[in-house]
Amino acid sequence: MKRIAFFHELPPGGARRAVNEIGRVIKRDDVVDLYIVDNYQNKEEKKYFNNTFFYEFIPKIWPGHNWKIRLYKDTLELIKLYFLHRKISSEIRNKNYDIIFVHASKFTESPFLLRFPNKIKIFYCHDPHYRMIYEKIFNIPKELDPARYLYEKINRYFRKLIDRENIKRADKIISNSKYTKKSLKKTYNKESVVCYLGVDPQLFSPNRRIKKNIDILYIGSNEPVDGRLLLMESLKFLSFKPKIKEILIEKEWICDDYILVDLYRRSKIVVCLAHNEPFGLIPLEAMSCGTPVIAVDEGGYTESVVNRKTGLLTKRDPGILARKIESLLNRPKVAAKLGENARKYILKNWTWEYRAKKIHDILLKLTDK
């Protein structure tokens, strides 16, 4: 029996739920303790682990105009986080775990914890790089005033240094998709092993008694990276006005899984339009509920959505997207068949029972070498 320490400082959402599900399955065979940094403790998460060690860290909220707060967040706040991670690493080391399974940080992507000496540190990469500082879609707007533009350039430079220094200290890396694996190699020149995440098919399940009264469901942000603009532009090409439900992260992030499940069940289509999404749990959750997905043909979506079998893949073109939407909304039997196929596909390939055991096997193989 191995003793495994999980670490993360993830926000509520799919990635955090994934950590809990992996812990739940692995706990049957090994001792699994969770070390978590957050501004509050969710006591419901304790059931997934043998022991939970909570470290409070309350970041200041930047309202968007107070530059004293912004400067604090980009300097002193990160320094405080660094020393907190050093303390956590020391406590983990003193407990003599066999494996340190490190997940992402909402503050730095690859966490400071990776820097400190310990037993084998395996980093599960949910995002192939700190997207804000690497991808062109997040480039600093040219119209910013010179002082702010310079600040952003300097800040991103140092954020990139932090991220690279942290991730290079990982002993091994597991990536959540083939797309992530390629991006890790390109960005950091680091090799990784691919092991996908999964979904709970008992929670995310179909219910034929529920009426599908939402034509299109979109879950994401209003930021360009999530592709909402593509959806809005595609509506101009439709011959009718569909009923759309948007869950914008900035306004109404859903923490209750049962509300999320109800939305999937009531939707005829779920659209996934993010730019180069590393993997994405939304397609898995929707398909598990028997709802077909229309996703852009890029990033990790291409590894989970099977075109014309469990959903449709589309080019990033509003006219083409509109035709795909119409083809399903106007042919409910075709949409229903895709949904049925999607559910079967999930049960065969994407359950947590299956995926978490794969991750467990990889953890053991990587540490036995």
Domains of the chain: 3-198+352-368 (3.40.50.2000), 214-350 (3.40.50.2000)
Question: 150: pLDDT confidence band, cut at 50, 70 and 90?
Answer: confident
Question: 252: pLDDT confidence band, cut at 50, 70 and 90?
Answer: low
CA–CA separation, 50 and 265 (whole Å): 33
Per-residue pLDDT tens over the stretch 86-95: 999 999 999 9
Per-residue pLDDT tens over the stretch 29-88: 999 999 999 999 999 899 999 999 999 999 998 877 788 999 999 999 999 999 999 999
Per-residue pLDDT tens over the stretch 291-334: 999 999 999 999 999 999 999 999 999 999 999 999 999 999 99
What average pLDDT does range 218-236 have in this prediction?
A: 93
* pTM exceeding 0.85: yes
What average pLDDT does range 276-289 have in this prediction?
A: 96
Neighbours of 5 (CB within 10 A): 29
pLDDT of 235: 96
| 211 CB burial (10 A radius; 0-12, 13-18, 19+) | exposed
- In Å, the largest CA–CA distance within the chain is 65
- Output the average pLDDT for the chain: 92
Question: 141: pLDDT confidence band, cut at 50, 70 and 90?
Answer: low
